[in-house]
Amino acid sequence: MRLALLAALAVATPSFAQITPIWSSTESEVIPYDAHYSRTEHVLLDDGSAFMVASETSRSGLAGTVRLDADGSALLGQFGHQPLSGGRLSPETVLATQGNRVLLAMTELENTRALVVMVDAAGQIQWVRPRYGRQARFLGNGDVLLASGNELMRLKGSDGDLVWLRNLLDLQPDPAEVAFQLPTAIDTSIPLSLFYRESSLAGGERFPDPLLVSLDAATGALQWQRQREAAPARVFESCAPVKLGARQRPCVFRTGRRSGRCGVRAPQRRRRRALRATRVPAVDYSDGPCGFVASSTLLALSTREETTQSTLVALSHGGAVLWRTTLPTMLPAELQAAADGALLVASQQLLPGGLGTVAERRRSSDGGIDWAVEIPGGAVDWRQIGGDLHIAWSVDDGAAQLHLQRRNAATGALVKRIWRSPRVWRFARRH
């Protein structure tokens, strides 16, 4: 495998500046070798193969990658940088994937500097930029839409150069912070709900009514904006809005009440007003993420619970509550829509062997369980490909391991488990 070395920058590079490498070199190494790995992040690629990146803990500034195909073959890679004063190169999250490309949020210098890194599935660096990445979406032409703090920007997919940058604080008179979620699907425009926080002269905080905007995806220019209807308490959006038909369906939570308001807020083109909204009672709210998905028969919402269990609610496309249930976990479930309209649910739960994931198929009509299986991984990524469900997870307890399963999406039956080889597919110290 090839070792791609990133540039070492003497000072923090401004967000608009080009990155000029001081030096670069290429050399070959094969892993595993005598090194420790930890802090893994994994994802499923479009073809159903699994990809993992893991931080080296025994040497500064290096990370290893594994691509694990459904036929059992593994492709190992490595990339790194020249640290300014030592420190790990640590993956924080997988921001987005497209085809064979993976966009990573990473930190270096013991978490003091944030990086956005584009790699291919072989672990080869495509480009790197010193930016903080919270969310990202690939656009149709391969460019990247990146949410970074209070800013939204578009980067060239080929080299990471800046196409445009929009500071969303500019749309409000005196804001201190803005929160927003990127839509799951982006065409020529970017619809956003902007939730602002202001600092008062008395030292407190104010939360003005959210601002609904649409930005031009090509230029970042403001197409229109509208103040959302007044609310007596703070509201915010934790779920990425889903696209159903031609309109975005967002879910908005309101503080101060044990209820969430999930409904249609897609504005009409001329009047920019909400079409309708449905209140979902007795769901706990949180600033953390939640699950929200649309199938051909329902809208499903999974929210975080601060005590013992989370809530799973199914709505009709018209907004009527179809059914609701609770899951024995404090974390929101990962949701996917099955081809026939049923709901696939993956929730982290405490199993007899430790923290794992329970994957279920629930009927759209009543929420009943068609099948359920236990996965020995605390956080999974999964994707439906044909009639199969590909499930990937990683382990970083002293070594870094990548796992991949294929299951029949209709029955849950195991089609194939890709076993890892301790010598080839496991990052660990060799004894």
Instruction: Identify whether residues 352 and 417 lie together within a single domain.
Output: no
Sign of the CA dihedral running 24, 146, 289, 391: negative
Name the domain count of the chain.
3
Q: Which residues lie closer than 8 Å to 180 by C-beta, 6 or more apart?
A: 147, 152, 168, 192, 193, 194, 195, 237
Confirm if 280 and 260 have CB atoms less than 8 A apart: yes
Output the pLDDT for position 238.
78
Q: Which residues lie closer than 8 Å to 380 by C-beta, 6 or more apart?
A: 334, 346, 357, 359, 391, 392, 393
Q: Is residue 38 part of a domain?
A: yes
Confirm if 159 and 143 have CB atoms less than 8 A apart: no
Sign of the CA dihedral running 346, 347, 352, 355: positive
Instruction: Identify whether residues 309 and 426 lie together within a single domain.
Output: no
User: Which amino acid is present at 119?
Assistant: V
Cα gap 137→103, rounded to integer Å:
9
CATH number assigned to the domain comprising residue 208: 2.40.10.480
Instruction: Identify whether residues 187 and 251 lie together within a single domain.
Output: no
Q: Is residue 18 part of a domain?
A: no
Q: Is residue 430 part of a domain?
A: yes
Instruction: Identify whether residues 143 and 217 lie together within a single domain.
Output: yes
Instruction: Identify whether residues 223 and 307 lie together within a single domain.
Output: no
CATH number assigned to the domain comprising residue 255: 2.40.128.630
Domain boundary among 203, 230, 257: 230
Cα gap 30→109, rounded to integer Å:
25
Q: Is residue 383 part of a domain?
A: no
Cα gap 20→9, rounded to integer Å:
8
Instruction: Identify whether residues 346 and 251 lie together within a single domain.
Output: yes
pLDDT below 70 — which residues of the chain? 1-35, 81-86, 111, 246, 255-277, 284-288, 305-307, 397-399, 419-431
The residue range of the domain holding 363 is 236-378
Domain boundary among 199, 230, 261: 230
- Residue 191: which of 238, 249, 146 has the closest Cα? 249
Q: Is residue 16 part of a domain?
A: no
Instruction: Identify whether residues 161 and 245 lie together within a single domain.
Output: no
Q: Is residue 385 part of a domain?
A: no
Instruction: Identify whether residues 144 and 104 lie together within a single domain.
Output: no
Q: Render pLDDT for 208-225 as a digit per residue (tens, 0 to 9).
A: 888 989 999 999 999 999
Instruction: Identify whether residues 365 and 247 lie together within a single domain.
Output: yes
Cα gap 428→256, rounded to integer Å:
49
Q: Is residue 224 part of a domain?
A: yes
- Residue 410: which of 377, 374, 373 has the closest Cα? 373
Instruction: Identify whether residues 175 and 268 lie together within a single domain.
Output: no
Cα gap 390→295, rounded to integer Å:
19
Neighbours of 265 (CB within 10 A): 25
Q: Is residue 327 part of a domain?
A: yes
Instruction: Identify whether residues 243 and 222 lie together within a single domain.
Output: no
Instruction: Identify whether residues 241 and 368 lie together within a single domain.
Output: yes
Domain boundary among 174, 197, 230: 230
Cα gap 304→290, rounded to integer Å:
6
